[in-house]
Amino acid sequence: MSVFSFPVYHKSPRCGYCSGTKKDFGALKSEQAQQNIRDPKVYKPEHASLGMVTGGMTCQIYDELINKGFRRSGDYLYKNDLLRSCCRSYTIRTNSQYLKMHKNHRKALNKFVKTISGDDDSASKRGKGPLTLLWLAYQEQQHLDDTFHTVFEEADLTEEKYRLYKKYQIHVHNDEPEDVSTSQFERFLCTKPFTDVTNRTPEHQAAQFEYLNNWLKNYDLTTGKVPNPNNIKPLGAIHECYYLHDKLIAISVLDFLPTGISSVYFIWDPDYAHLSLGTVSGLRDILLCKALDLGYYYLGYYIADCVKMNYKLKFGGEILDLTTQTYFPLNKIEKYVSDGKLFSIKPSSSLVLDYSKFPETYEESQFNGKELIESSTDVYGNPKTYKKADELHKKICRILGMDLLISGREIPLVSPGFGTLEYLYQCTTEGIFDTLTIIMRLGVEDYEIRFMELTIEGKRMVINAIRAFGLSILLRSTMSLY
């Protein structure tokens, strides 16, 4: 069972991506359309998002959440409002099929191999295939354990890891030394919120790490796979530590999930900036996903007009359209997102999404093989969209005897990637709320409570949760008031 606080919507003038300095921060291409979202008199950059805390969750449910646009920082989960925020942050993922080896990839790998091998010739005598190059580079590393190796281990705090994290934050991100505390590092990158992993036996965990730490040694060059006779499925929060001459030079913080590996953070020693360890790590993780049949490599968010995120494009992949819940290949929609504006592809038929299912791939979707029409301004810049949502809101309020928007902590009536009023009205007219029972944690006790027995404020919080992550996750979770 997963435990979440009720999600809360909030706005802030501070943005971790652009620091609130972006001049052209509107989501829509038309300034006139933008005025339907905000009052132009107080129109200024701000960061708008939904956040909640988890008291423990399964890897499966977090997998579903990141495929709805959520990310985590420790035990805090958040999802940005792409319509009202100054920056558009899209979920991006890739795999070996999308990867096309770029010049900077080859350069990084050649320099890396040269450094760890001490052999100028070994780095130049390599094939040109995108994954063959990777494999040959790491094939050589198998014989260089005394020089370079990595270790997969629990996401635990150690003094060695903390020292590297502090050095990285100060020299790369210009943090003040007094702001980089042990507790911050532990909370941010050593939290292990996955309940299905903590319930595993020590023997199971040991087998998982043995499998991961020997994947290169057991890699079958013929099949491109790693034998897995015991059907081990790595799961949970994991640190992969990079050692050069037994010195810790990098830490890759990863979440292993049912549909792939999610990159949480990458820390590297500034003294080894010339090795391009971030590039090497990304390529290595893509290869790992393929070799172990782990699925996709999730790179977090992609923000087109954030220079620091440009490197993600070089790994190829696909971006999640929150409005249609469809992953589109970058090469098909890059022209729509390159300006940092909101993108949404127009469906050929009306969609009433409940956000309870996994997004479709482009190949699975109704868009496959058809002309893609960008429609964000037509939808979110159209006064009729807001008028319709307001009318549905009033109908829902009459049926349930309550207002959905009171405190300002609720999701706006129109917001891409959150449950629509059409879906909410459908739930209301089909009587779902009449029979809905949820589990709520009050203090340390859990109680089954019928929706219709809740206070008006309680009902409002439940509806906000349904719009945030769908009815399916709600029914498999405990909602806490902490």
Residue 132 in this model has a pLDDT that exceeds 60: no
Q: Whole-angstrom Cα distance, residue 392 to residue 182?
A: 49
pLDDT interval class at 141 (50, 70, 90): low
Q: Which tokens hold the place of 284? A: 């290595």
pLDDT value of position 33: 61
Q: pLDDT digit string (tens) for 203-233? A: 999 999 999 999 988 888 788 889 999 999 9
How far is the CA of 2 from the CAs of 67, 80, 215, 417, 471, in angstroms? Answer: 17, 22, 31, 22, 14
User: Residue 162: in which H helix or E strand, if any?
Assistant: helix 159-172
C-beta neighbour count of 210 within 10 angstroms: 12
Residues paired with residue 247 on neighbouring β-strands, in sequence order: 244
Residue 133 in this model has a pLDDT that exceeds 70: no
Q: Whole-angstrom Cα distance, residue 215 to residue 267?
A: 22
What's this model's pTM, rounded to 2 decimal places?
0.93
Strand 260-268 to 71-73 pairing: unpaired
pLDDT value of position 130: 45
Q: pLDDT digit string (tens) for 64-122? A: 999 999 999 999 999 999 999 999 999 999 999 999 888 888 888 888 888 877 766 55
Residue 444 in this model has a pLDDT that exceeds 80: yes
SS3 254: strand
Closest among 140, 117, 136 to 128, alpha carbons compared: 136
**Residue 372 DSSP symbol:** -
Lowest-confidence segment of 22-31, 47-56, 418-427 by average pLDDT: 22-31
Lowest-confidence segment of 15-24, 38-47, 265-274, 392-401 by average pLDDT: 38-47
The amino acid occupying position 387 is K
Question: Are the beta carbons of 104 and 275 closer than 8 angstroms?
Answer: no
pLDDT value of position 316: 95
SS3 434: helix
Q: Whole-angstrom Cα distance, residue 297 to residue 95?
A: 6
Percent of the chain with pLDDT over 70: 89
SS3 91: strand
pLDDT value of position 355: 65
Q: pLDDT digit string (tens) for 364-384? A: 999 999 999 999 999 999 999
Residues paired with residue 239 on neighbouring β-strands, in sequence order: 153, 253
Query: What residues have CB less than 8 Å from 247, skipping those under 6 apart?
Result: none
Give the distance from CA 36 to its chain's centroid: 29
**What does the H/E/C string look like for 258-323?**
CCEEEEEEEEECHHHHHHCHHHHHHHHHHHHHHHCCCCEEEEEEECCCCHHHHHHHHHCCEEEECC
42-46, 145-149, 437-441: which is most confident: 437-441
Mean of pLDDT values over 240-263: 97
Average pLDDT of the chain is: 89
Q: Which tokens hold the place of 307? A: 């220079």
Establish how many alpha carbons lie within 13 A of residue 3's alpha carbon, considering only the half-sphere containing its beta carbon. Answer: 17
Q: Which tokens hold the place of 126? A: 């390599």
Task: Encode burial over 334-372: b for 16+ CB neighbours within 10 A, e otherwise.
Answer: eebbeebbbbbbebeeeeebbbbeebeebeebebeeeeb
How far is the CA of 305 from the CAs of 40, 197, 239, 311, 352, in angstroms? Answer: 23, 37, 30, 12, 31
